[in-house]
């Protein structure tokens, strides 16, 4: 027997939780289903541009959003959604341990880390190769590590790693850090433990059972026991696609100004959409818009 809700939100990151906060304040019976509480921003060491906090860790910010949503009566479910199918009264949201009937659905499934695409990357994952500095930095106390990438994720990961490792190389294929926020880049440049290695990238991972070194395309070898891959993200949009939602050429969900997808009653918000700026504040705004439109639609259909 399915549990009934007004709105089912898939994804418990900034977009999903903000949508839930708005929906709950519209007095809609709301459930958030998530595989990662707080979403990928919990893997960010510092957030310095979310209004009202000078600096806050991703984890702390999301704990507060989750507490806010829970305090308003939102039900949070740890679970995985396998299918979303249309029913007469809305949607059936199903997963291995989920059976939910809801009038409307908001997809806020975010993004996942991209792999570097170098040979033996999968084999050495968890044996020196990592995709989450905040999860793994403390394992590299006193060691030498490298970060690859040049965006905010790479720069903030290098800053975090410098608190544990003795030496942090940041390997970036350009000649300067034009992509990352200047505030983080300034901190990077002032940090004596961090050495930028520019105009190159990684050609080979060295090490039998665990990472021992990385070879670069410029011929240099860096002896490191840790490599943190921060080369961007790709959208978690398979569920959307399988639910009939239209995606753009990079697999991001296409939405209109009210965060509607092409499937009536199915909305999308946050990093999984084809918005122009992947930032927490944008994800929150899209979550608010989606919940508001969903509320208007539900009210109009009564």
Residues belonging to the active site? 132, 135-136
Q: Which of 79, 95, 60, 57 is nearest to 12 (CA)?
A: 79
Cβ 40 to ligand NAP shortest distance, Å: 8
Placement of tokens 């993200």 in the chain: 233
- Eight-state DSSP code of residue 42: G
Contact set with ligand NAP (CB under 6 A): 44, 46-47, 116-117, 148-154, 156, 173-174, 179, 181, 201, 230-233, 278-279
Cβ 21 to ligand NAP shortest distance, Å: 22
Residue 130 forms beta bridges with which residues? Answer: 228
Residue 163 region by backbone torsions, left for phi larger than 0, else alpha for psi between -120 and 50, else beta: alpha
Question: What residue number has its CB nearest to ligand NAP?
Answer: 151
CA distances from 231 to 135, 241, 283, 292 (A): 17, 24, 20, 34
Contact 204, 119 (CB under 8 A): yes
Q: Which is nearer to ligand NAP, 98 or 194 (CB)?
A: 194
Cβ 196 to ligand NAP shortest distance, Å: 12
Cβ 189 to ligand NAP shortest distance, Å: 16
């Amino acid at each position: 027997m399915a549990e009934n809700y007004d709105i089912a939100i898939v994804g418990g990151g900034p977009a999903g939780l903000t949508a839930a906060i708005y929906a709950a304040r519209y007095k809609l019976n709301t459930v958030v289903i998530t595989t990662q509480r707080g979403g990928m921003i919990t893997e960010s060491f510092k957030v310095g541009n979310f209004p009202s906090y000078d600096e806050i860790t991703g984890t702390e910010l999301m704990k507060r959003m989750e507490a806010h949503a829970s305090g308003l009566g939102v039900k949070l479910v740890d679970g995985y959604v396998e299918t979303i199918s249309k029913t007469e009264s809305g949607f059936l949201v199903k997963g291995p341990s989920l059976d939910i009937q809801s009038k409307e659905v908001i997809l806020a499934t975010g993004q996942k880390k991209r792999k570097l695409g170098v040979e033996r990357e999968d084999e050495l994952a968890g044996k020196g190769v990592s995709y989450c500095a905040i999860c793994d930095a403390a394992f590299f106390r006193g060691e030498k590590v490298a970060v690859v990438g040049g965006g905010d994720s790479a720069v903030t990961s290098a800053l975090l790693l410098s608190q544990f490792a003795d030496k942090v190389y940041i390997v970036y294929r350009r000649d300067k850090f034009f992509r990352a926020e200047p505030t983080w880049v300034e901190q990077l440049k002032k940090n004596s433990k961090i050495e930028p290695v520019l105009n190159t990238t990684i050609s080979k991972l060295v090490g039998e059972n665990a990472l021992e070194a990385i070879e670069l395309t410029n011929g240099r070898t860096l002896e490191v026991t840790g490599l943190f891959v921060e080369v961007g993200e790709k959208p978690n949009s398979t569920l959307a696609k399988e639910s009939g939602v239209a995606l753009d050429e990079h697999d991001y969900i296409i939405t209109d100004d009210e965060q509607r997808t092409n499937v009536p009653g199915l909305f999308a918000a946050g990093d999984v959409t084809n918005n122009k700026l992947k930032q927490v504040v944008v994800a929150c705004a899209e979550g608010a818009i989606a919940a508001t439109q969903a509320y208007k639609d539900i009210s109009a259909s009564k």
